């Protein structure tokens, strides 16, 4: 009574299947399906190589070659073989900007060593206290100098590369480089003092 009539069912034709999906019965893959054991055995690879000492020796040799390649790249400025943290035009610009200026932070380590020797040699005198206070004043002035350097550098980076091109961690990258002695910086400086990048 409430069901569909047979005439209505015969009137609606079935949707034709696309020819690409229809595979003839006599057609095949052209090869037999491998057994499960055979398929799993083909995918298995040994977790530990048979010659463990030889594999370890080869791995050490590859790591040594990679380290040598990276060190040479850090000396020459070849970015193709540098570590990932030093690659890219933005980081190169930051390095060149920091290396082109005299930073108060780069003299911090030698001056701190001198101040410490003076403090220990003077003992508990008033001069020793003055030396310690002078060291603290120098640290504050160097920090302010680095902060001003980063503000100017960030303004240039935004103008040259855009805000979205500045990666996270770039501030510390510039600050740490500015507090290193120029001769100990890696990658090696590629610009002279006063030679600002464009």
pLDDT by position in tens, the chain (length 198): 565 555 555 555 555 555 545 555 556 678 888 899 888 888 877 677 778 888 889 899 999 999 999 999 999 988 888 998 999 999 999 999 999 999 999 999 999 999 989 888 888 888 888 989 999 999 999 999 999 999 999 999 999 999 998 899 999 999 999 999 999 999 999 999 999 887
Q: Tell whether 114 and 132 lie within a shared domain.
A: yes
Q: Tell whether 69 and 124 lie within a shared domain.
A: no
Q: Tell whether 105 and 61 lie within a shared domain.
A: no
DSSP 100: T
Integer Cα distance of 179 and 142 in angstroms: 9
Q: Tell whether 72 and 157 lie within a shared domain.
A: no
Q: Which domain holds residue 78?
A: 51-85
Q: Tell whether 179 and 143 lie within a shared domain.
A: yes
Q: Tell whether 104 and 188 lie within a shared domain.
A: yes
Integer Cα distance of 101 and 105 in angstroms: 11
Candidates 94, 97, 75, 76; CA nearest to 85 is 94
Q: How far is Cα of residue 141 from the mean position of the Cα atoms in its chain?
A: 31
Average pLDDT score over the chain = 86
Position 14 in a domain: no
Q: Tell whether 72 and 98 lie within a shared domain.
A: no
CA of 48: how far to CAs of 39, 52, 63, 94, in Å?
Answer: 21, 7, 19, 44
Q: How many CB atoms lie within 10 A of CB 191?
A: 15
Number of domain units in the chain: 2
Position 34 in a domain: no
Assign 158 to helix, strand or coil: helix
pTM attached to this predicted model = 0.68
N residues, the chain? 198
Q: Tell whether 81 and 92 lie within a shared domain.
A: no
């Amino acid at each position: 009574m409430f069901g569909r009539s047979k005439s209505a069912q015969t009137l609606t034709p079935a949707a034709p299947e696309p020819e690409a999906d229809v595979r003839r019965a006599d057609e095949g893959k052209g090869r037999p399906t491998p057994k499960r054991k055979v398929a799993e055995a083909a995918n298995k690879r040994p977790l530990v190589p048979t010659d463990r000492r030889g594999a370890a020796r080869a791995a050490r040799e590859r790591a040594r070659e990679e380290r040598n390649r990276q060190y040479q790249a850090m000396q020459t400025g070849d970015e193709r073989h540098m570590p990932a943290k030093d690659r890219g035009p933005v980081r190169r610009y930051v390095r060149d900007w920091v290396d082109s200026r005299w930073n108060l932070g780069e003299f911090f380590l030698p001056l701190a060593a001198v101040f410490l020797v003076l403090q220990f040699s003077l003992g508990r005198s008033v001069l020793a206290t003055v030396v310690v206070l002078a060291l603290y004043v120098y640290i504050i002035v160097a920090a302010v100098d680095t902060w001003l350097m980063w503000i100017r550098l960030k303004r240039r980076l935004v103008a040259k590369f855009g805000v979205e091109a500045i990666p996270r961690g770039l501030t510390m990258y510039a600050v740490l480089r500015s507090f290193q002695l120029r001769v100990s910086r890696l990658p090696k400086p590629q610009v002279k003092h006063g030679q600002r990048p464009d």
